Amino acid sequence: MSEKKKVSRRQFLKTAGIATGAVVLACGGLGAAATIPPSVDFFEKQSKGNGKMKKVLIAYSSKAGSTSEVAKAIGEVLSKSGADVTVEQIKNVKDVSAYQAVVVGSLIRMGSWVPEAKNFVEKNKAVLEKVPTAFFTTSLTLKDDTDEAHAKVAGYVEPILQIVKPVENGLFGGKMDTSKLSFLDKLIIEKMIKETNGDYRNWDEINAWAEKLPALMI
């Protein structure tokens, strides 16, 4: 009879850590890829107000840049429609009451909006309920444009809709770039989860969604 191998505490924790990382990445759409700060340039108040233009805030949470680029694209559409637009990371937003319309965006991580974005909606619930508010979400689950995938992501977002009912709720594909990951994270993605690189954002869909907002918000 062969003797069972003993596993040291250090070996156990290492194995458990890898497994936990895999679960986080699998459930979260962007997962570990969402831990790298965005590198894109953002505009603030791209459309200069003259006192008569409605001020619109686009507040987003983005870890790897995918959601931030979507926020910027939405901001450009609203700006061209005559709004005084500010696109800003949620952590930098100081006063939501200064705006007459708000768009809030988040990536999906571990099957839900990231805590930062959810907390933002909860904290500003009273203000958001008084002005036109829209939500948008990015998720790698939507790399498959199927009813099942959309239903799954809609379920992820449902808790947010229970806090504030938006005038529009956009669900968009995300982006994966393993070149930005650590060796361990890349190994998990490619070997354990078998996720592949790709940009699954449909810009025509995103712009079409944004073009519906002026009639509802401005």
- In order of 57, 178, 218, the CA distances from 79 in angstroms are 11, 33, 10
What's the farthest any 2 CA atoms get from each other in the chain?
Answer: 84
pLDDT at 8: 43
Q: Which token pair is 104?
A: 């809030």
Residue corresponding to tokens 């949470």: 61
C-alpha closest to that of 201 among 86, 68, 46:
68
State the chain's mean pLDDT as an integer.
79
Burial bucket for residue 199 (CB in 10 Å: 0-12, 13-18, 19+): middle
Q: Indicate whether 50 pLDDT > 80.
A: no
pTM: 0.74
Taken in order of first residue, the domains within the chain and their CATH numbers are: 39-177+197-217 (3.40.50.360)
C-alpha closest to that of 73 among 30, 97, 105:
105
Q: How confident is the model over 88-139, as pLDDT tens digits?
A: 999 999 999 999 999 999 999 889 999 999 999 999 999 999 999 999 999 9
Burial bucket for residue 128 (CB in 10 Å: 0-12, 13-18, 19+): buried
- In order of 136, 138, 195, the CA distances from 107 in angstroms are 9, 5, 17
